[in-house]
Structure 1
Amino acid sequence: MRWNKIGDYLGLGGVAVILVGLVSYSVHGVLTTAITATLVAGLALVVAYGVLNFREIRSALSSRSTRFGSNAVLMSLVVLGILILINFVANRHSLRADTTAAKQFSLAEQTRKILKNLDREVKVTAFYRAEDRWQIESLLKEYEHYSPRFKWEIIDPDQRPAEAKQYNITAYNTIVLECGGKQERITTRTEQDLTNALIKVTRKENKKIYFLTGHGEKDIEATDREGYDSMRKLLQGENYDVEKILLAEKDHVPDDCSLLVVAGPKTDLLPNEASMIGDYLKKGGKALFLLDPESPDGYVTLLKEWGIEVGKNVVLDVSGIGRLFGAGPAMPIAAQYAPHAITEKFQLMTIYPYARSVRKAADAPVGATVTEFVKTSSNSWGESEPLGRGGMVRYDEGKDLPGPVSVAVAMEKEAEEKPTSSGESGQTRTKTRIVVFGDSDFASNTYYRVQGNGDLFMNAVSWLAEQEDLISIRPKDPEDRRVNLTRSQSRLIFWVAVVLMPLAVLGTGAGIYWKRR
Structure 2
Amino acid sequence: MMQASEAINIVWFLGVIAALALLFVAGLKLPVRLGYASRAVSAALVGAVAVAVVILANVALFRHDAHLDFTREKAFTPSAEAGEVVRGLAEPIDIAYFYQKQNPGAVALGAMLRQLERDNGNFRVRLIDADQNPALASSFGVRTYNSAVLRSGERRIEVVTTDDREIALGVLRLLRRREVVICFAAGNGEYDIDNFEFHTHFEGAHSHSHDASGSAVVQMEQHGIGRLRRAIEKLGVAARKISFATGQPIPDDCGVVVEANPRTRYSPGQTELMRRYLERGGSAMFLIEPDYELDDSLAALLATSGIKVGNGVIVDPKEHYFTDEQMIAVSHYGVHPITRGLTLSFYPGARPLEMVPTAGLKLTPLAVSSSEAYVIADRLGNDSTAVSTLRASRIIAVAVEGQLNETASSIFRMVVAGDADFASNSFFPYLANSDVVLAALAWLTHDERAPTMKPPVEVLPTVSLTGEQMRGIFIVTVLLMPGLIAFAGGAMWWLRR
Aligned-pair CA distance for 1:243? 0.8
Alpha-carbon contact 1:283-1:417 (below 8 Å) kept: no
Q: Equivalent residue for 2:210?
A: none
Q: Distance in 2 between matches of 1:340 and 1:409?
A: 10
- Picking from 367, 370, 374, the partner of 2:363 is 370
Q: Does 1:448 align with 2:448?
A: no
Q: Does 1:275 align with 2:272?
A: yes
- Picking from 379, 383, 401, the partner of 2:375 is 383
Aligned-pair CA distance for 1:160? 3.2
Q: Distance in 2 between matches of 1:393 and 1:140?
A: 60
Secondary structure of the residue aligned to 2:258 is: strand
Aligned-pair CA distance for 1:223? 2.2
Name the aligned partner's letter for residue 170 of structure 1: R
Secondary structure of the residue aligned to 1:199 is: helix
Q: Distance in 1 between matches of 2:444 and 2:34?
A: 83
Runs of 5+ unmatched residues, structure 1: 1-59, 420-428, 493-517
Q: Give CA-to-partner distance per residue, 1:396-415, whole Å, 9 cap, x none.
A: 8xx34533222111101146
Name the aligned partner's letter for residue 413 of structure 1: G
What's the % identity of the aligned pairs? 26
Q: Give CA-to-partner distance per residue, 1:293-345, whole Å, 9 cap, x none.
A: 1122224332111101222121111126422xxx4111110011111100112
Alpha-carbon contact 1:369-1:411 (below 8 Å) kept: yes
Q: Does 1:201 align with 2:155?
A: no
Q: Distance in 1 between matches of 2:358 and 2:131?
A: 66
Q: Does 1:435 align with 2:415?
A: yes
Q: Give CA-to-partner distance per residue, 1:366-406, whole Å, 9 cap, x none.
A: 11100002122233x241433545x456978xx34533222
Secondary structure of the residue aligned to 2:324 is: coil
Aligned-pair CA distance for 1:178? 1.2
Decide which moves more: 293-302 or 365-374. 293-302
Alpha-carbon contact 1:358-1:438 (below 8 Å) kept: yes
| Bigger Rg over Cα | 1
Q: Equivalent residue for 1:284?
A: 281
- Picking from 463, 467, 475, the partner of 2:443 is 463
Aligned CA distance change for structure 1 residues 394 and 114 (closer, same or farther; 3 Å) = farther
Q: Equivalent residue for 1:162?
A: 135
Q: Equivalent residue for 2:19?
A: none
Judging by fraction of residues, say which structure has more helix. Answer: 1
Q: Equivalent residue for 2:226?
A: 229
Q: Does 1:403 align with 2:398?
A: no
Aligned CA distance change for structure 1 residues 138 and 293 (closer, same or farther; 3 Å) = same
Runs of 5+ unmatched residues, structure 2: 1-31, 200-222, 465-472, 481-497
* Paired residue total: 401
Q: Distance in 2 between matches of 1:186 and 1:309?
A: 45
Secondary structure of the residue aligned to 1:249 is: coil
Q: Distance in 2 between matches of 1:291 and 1:472?
A: 26
Q: Distance in 2 between matches of 1:173 and 1:250?
A: 48
Query: What is the 5 A alignment of 1:21-100?
Result: 61=33, 91-93=62-64
- Picking from 178, 181, 184, the partner of 2:151 is 178
Alpha-carbon contact 1:462-1:471 (below 8 Å) kept: no
Decide which moves more: 312-321 or 434-443. 312-321
Q: Equivalent residue for 1:215?
A: 188
- Picking from 81, 88, 93, the partner of 1:122 is 93
Query: What is the 5 A alignment of 1:254-265?
Result: 254-265=251-262
Q: Equivalent residue for 2:344?
A: 349
Q: Distance in 1 between matches of 2:375 and 2:463?
A: 43
Decide which moves more: 314-323 or 433-442. 314-323
Q: Equivalent residue for 2:307?
A: 308
Alpha-carbon contact 2:169-2:453 (below 8 Å) kept: no
Q: Give CA-to-partner distance per residue, 1:138-187, whole Å, 9 cap, x none.
A: 22124324432111101233433432221122232221111232221122
Name the aligned partner's letter for residue 128 of structure 1: Y
Q: Give CA-to-partner distance per residue, 1:83-105, whole Å, 9 cap, x none.
A: 99788656534566666655555
Q: Distance in 1 between matches of 2:191 and 2:450?
A: 24
Q: Distance in 2 between matches of 1:374 and 1:320?
A: 12
Q: Distance in 2 between matches of 1:129 and 1:219?
A: 38
Q: Distance in 2 between matches of 1:373 and 1:210?
A: 23
Q: Distance in 2 between matches of 1:478 and 1:232?
A: 13
Aligned CA distance change for structure 1 residues 382 and 88 (closer, same or farther; 3 Å) = farther
Q: Give CA-to-partner distance per residue, 1:7-26, whole Å, 9 cap, x none.
A: xxxxxxxxxxxxxxxxxxxx
Q: Distance in 1 between matches of 2:73 and 2:303?
A: 42
Secondary structure of the residue aligned to 2:331 is: strand
Please give the TM-score of this superposition, normalised by the length of structure 1. Answer: 0.68
Q: Distance in 1 between matches of 2:90 and 2:386?
A: 54
Name the aligned partner's letter for residue 164 of structure 1: A
Aligned-pair CA distance for 1:231? 0.6
Aligned CA distance change for structure 1 residues 155 and 108 (closer, same or farther; 3 Å) = closer
Aligned-pair CA distance for 1:200? 1.6
Secondary structure of the residue aligned to 2:138 is: helix
Secondary structure of the residue aligned to 1:336 is: coil
Q: Distance in 2 between matches of 1:294 and 1:404?
A: 21
Q: Distance in 2 between matches of 1:403 and 1:101?
A: 42
Q: Distance in 2 between matches of 1:209 and 1:300?
A: 23
Q: Equivalent residue for 1:49?
A: none
Aligned CA distance change for structure 1 residues 313 and 482 (closer, same or farther; 3 Å) = closer
Q: Distance in 2 between matches of 1:104 and 1:203?
A: 29
Query: What is the 5 A alignment of 1:137-156?
Result: 137-156=110-129
Alpha-carbon contact 2:77-2:112 (below 8 Å) kept: no
Alpha-carbon contact 1:359-1:408 (below 8 Å) kept: no
Root mean square deviation of aligned Cα: 3.7
Aligned CA distance change for structure 1 residues 369 and 269 (closer, same or farther; 3 Å) = same
Q: Distance in 1 between matches of 2:167 and 2:292?
A: 39
Aligned CA distance change for structure 1 residues 167 and 453 (closer, same or farther; 3 Å) = same
Q: Distance in 2 between matches of 1:105 and 1:122?
A: 22
Secondary structure of the residue aligned to 1:449 is: coil
Q: Distance in 2 between matches of 1:61 and 1:97?
A: 40
